[in-house]
Amino acid sequence: MRLFFAVDFPEELKEEIYQDITPLFKYNGVKWVAKENYHLTLAFLGEKEEKELLQIDRAAKSVPQVKESLIKVLDFGAFPNLKKPKVLFLKIESPGLLTIAENLRQNLKENNISFDEKPFVPHLTIGRVKGEIKDLALPEFNPKEFSFKNFYLIKSVLTPEGPIYEKIKSYEILQNA
């Protein structure tokens, strides 16, 4: 099964973001992420066997909780850059999220669980560019923020229509103040 750890967005925020990015849908050659799939990936594990779930769960459960859980959704960005975008995203700022991701990734390493070790760049992918976009004009984006209480282990099933995500396990991240 294909797995990753992520923070989910509240449904009303997914709708707001979707409305804000609608002007971009005029660009052809972009596979837009379905709004129900908006999330922040903490660590992509890839294909894992059922027998590995216990060890994966143990690594996630031992992530220390944090006091701060505010996530700010700031503005547009792209990998590798906005001049030649391959992935369009929204920039994310969150010290609590960085701490969670850092600790989770360290625990995965210590438990010999393989994952994509590219540097963690907090972002919300909104589209993948299949061709080339000429003269990309980005609409005004109104920054948003929300607090999160959990992160999830998510199973991803790839289909021709796009991925289907299923939350397998939830992990509370917020210390009781």
Which residues are known to be catalytic? 39, 123
CA distances from 9 to 14, 30, 131 (A): 6, 22, 28
Max Cα–Cα distance, the chain, nearest Å: 49
3-state secondary structure of 104: helix
Q: How far apart are CA 81 and CA 150, in angstroms?
A: 31
CA distances, 133 to each of 5, 17, 23 (Å): 31, 21, 14
DSSP state of 161: T
Q: How far is CA 23 from CA 40, 128, 135, 136, in A?
A: 22, 16, 14, 11
What distance in Å separates the CA atoms of residue 78 and residue 133, rounded to the nearest whole number? 12
Q: Where are the beta strands (DSSP E) in 10-163?
A: 30-32, 39-47, 70-79, 87-93, 123-129, 144-147, 150-157
